[in-house]
Amino acid sequence: MKNMLIITGPQGSGNHLFSKCFALHEDVYGWQTLVDQVWEGHREEPFSNHWNNPEMLHDFNWDQSNYYVTSVSVPYVRNKVEVIPNFMKFAQVAQQYCNVQFAIIGRDQNILEHQQTRVRGRPTLQQALDSFHAVHFDCHYLSQELLYLYKENYLRQLSKQMRWPIAYLDPKLDTILADDSNKKYINKVDSHWLDDYVIKAIEES
């Protein structure tokens, strides 16, 4: 049985990051051109045109693999216009050729707001959250924070849970996960009002 994994998430949640990780396995047809790049636009994603016109999936060569991964952010930009992916249409057409799974990426909502405002000029998180209500499929949930924290151990567990081939021992992961993209949004907190309670509890323990 052929399988397709649709990776999605709010704009800036880590579509490129997880696309790299999932494309490493030799049995997976994914965004291979991205793996050795720092970044490239979603127009280079293998199914980019199919998201704009899902009917094109009828002409796709499904003999290339038993595992396909596609990635799309919410919203994505097409011809300088923000577009909400037509998840159900894409999935309904793809289901004629393979089993379809969804994986939705999570990232700290405060960081998402800052990132989206910096790149898009305003937060778009609510658009993503609203659009996911239309996804009437069982969903896996991916965490950018857990990926950076536990690295190959997290990917190993995902592979088991999702029953999906993930190259969690690939040495390229060291480069992919070398720089935590959340770090630039984190500022040192010198003190907090709860600190005294914590210190007191430690002293009394």
CA 161 to each of CA 3, 166, 196: distance values in angstroms, whole numbers, following the listed order: 15, 11, 41
- According to DSSP, residue 184 is labeled G
Residue 156 inside a domain? The answer is: yes
Residue 186 inside a domain? The answer is: no
Mean pLDDT of 134-159: 95
Handedness of CA 115, 6, 54, 32 (dihedral sign): positive
Residue 195 inside a domain? The answer is: no
* pLDDT of 14: 97
- The parent domain of residue 105 ranges over 3-180
Reported as a pLDDT band with limits 50, 70 and 90, residue 149 is very high
Q: Residue 72: is its pLDDT beyond 90? A: yes
Residue 32 inside a domain? The answer is: yes
> pLDDT tens digit string along 39-61?
998 999 999 999 999 999 999 99
Residue 201 inside a domain? The answer is: no
Q: Residue 136: is its pLDDT beyond 90? A: no
Q: Residue 94: is its pLDDT beyond 90? A: yes
Mean pLDDT of 108-115: 96
What is the helix (H) or strand (E) element at residue 114, kind and residue range? helix 109-120
Residue 20 inside a domain? The answer is: yes
Question: Based on the structure, what is the number of domains in the chain?
Answer: 1
Phi-psi domain of 80 (left: phi exceeds 0; alpha: psi -120 through 50; beta: other)? left
Residue 103 inside a domain? The answer is: yes
